[in-house]
């Protein structure tokens, strides 16, 4: 009791409801367990999609592109008849464009049509490496909400079974089925949305690398002074 000044008045205006709400707060583990059996496949897909996304994020964004002016130097050496110098410049290029430019220089005495085919072959070899594992992330983004929906249906079926046995008088008896129905949908969306974003981001980056390779191939062929 406060004799002088101010003090705390021990009155609960909610008549105990606040304490009841506080006691119902669940830990993350308890919240997950409410999802029933279908929460585990969703979490498995989430872990695998996350690991795959981190690996592809590092793999794709670590792809090095040639320095500005590298292609111009190679073409200048070729057009001046210094083929060996052009080959050394091509070998000094970083990233996946290196092999493509080496092949192009080695076939620079051939027709432009053949040079295009050689460079296009190298691009076809690169594309599967860039896009590998991306379909799994897309599958996760599409599958996780469906698993959540399946968990929702399962939870509602269990809820109706409890209603058949106990009726609708006691809401506590129905809470397990309702929790399973809602938690699986929640986690399905939590997994699907980031997976969809990561797939779009990584696919855009892979397409950007391929587009740069294509532009370089076109510029190389167009930059040759010899007419075939």
41 to 178, 187, 192: CA distances (angstroms): 19, 11, 13
pLDDT number for residue 228:
41
185 to 85, 97, 177, 188: CA distances (angstroms): 62, 45, 13, 5
pLDDT number for residue 171:
58
- pLDDT-derived band of residue 81, with 50, 70 and 90 as boundaries? confident
CA dist., res. 116 & res. 96, Å (int): 16
pLDDT number for residue 53:
94
Sketch the domain layout of the chain as residue ranges: 37-61+133-210
pLDDT digit string (tens) for 99-120? 899 988 888 888 888 888 889 9
pLDDT digit string (tens) for 42-78? 999 999 999 999 999 999 988 888 887 888 888 998 8
193 to 25, 47, 71, 82, 165: CA distances (angstroms): 26, 14, 40, 54, 38
- The reported pTM is 0.75
Give 78's contacts (C-beta < 8 A, 6+ positions apart): 86, 105, 108, 224
Q: What is the mean pLDDT of the chain?
A: 82
pLDDT digit string (tens) for 113-151? 888 888 998 898 888 888 999 999 999 999 999 999 888
């Amino acid at each position: 009791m406060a004799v002088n000044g101010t003090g705390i008045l021990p009155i609960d205006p909610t008549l105990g409801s606040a304490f009841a709400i506080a006691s119902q707060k669940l830990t993350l583990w308890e919240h997950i367990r409410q999802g029933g059996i279908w929460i585990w496949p969703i979490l498995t897909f989430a872990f695998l999609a996350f690991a795959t996304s981190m690996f592809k994020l590092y793999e794709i964004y670590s792809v090095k592109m040639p320095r500005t002016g590298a292609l111009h130097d190679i073409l200048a050496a070729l057009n001046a008849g210094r083929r060996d110098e052009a080959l050394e410049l091509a070998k000094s290029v970083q990233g996946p464009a290196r092999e493509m430019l080496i092949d192009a220089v080695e076939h620079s005495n051939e027709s432009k049509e053949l040079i295009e085919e050689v460079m296009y072959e190298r691009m076809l070899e690169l594309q599967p490496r860039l896009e590998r594992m991306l379909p799994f992330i897309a599958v996760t983004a599409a599958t996780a909400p469906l698993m959540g929906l399946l968990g929702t249906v399962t939870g509602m079926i269990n809820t109706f079974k409890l209603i058949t046995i106990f009726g609708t008088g006691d809401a506590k008896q129905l809470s397990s089925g309702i929790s399973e129905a809602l938690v699986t949908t929640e986690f399905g969306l939590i997994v699907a949305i980031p997976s969809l974003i990561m797939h779009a981001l990584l696919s855009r980056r892979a397409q950007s690398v391929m587009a740069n390779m294509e532009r370089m191939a076109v510029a190389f062929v167009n930059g040759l002074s010899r007419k075939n």
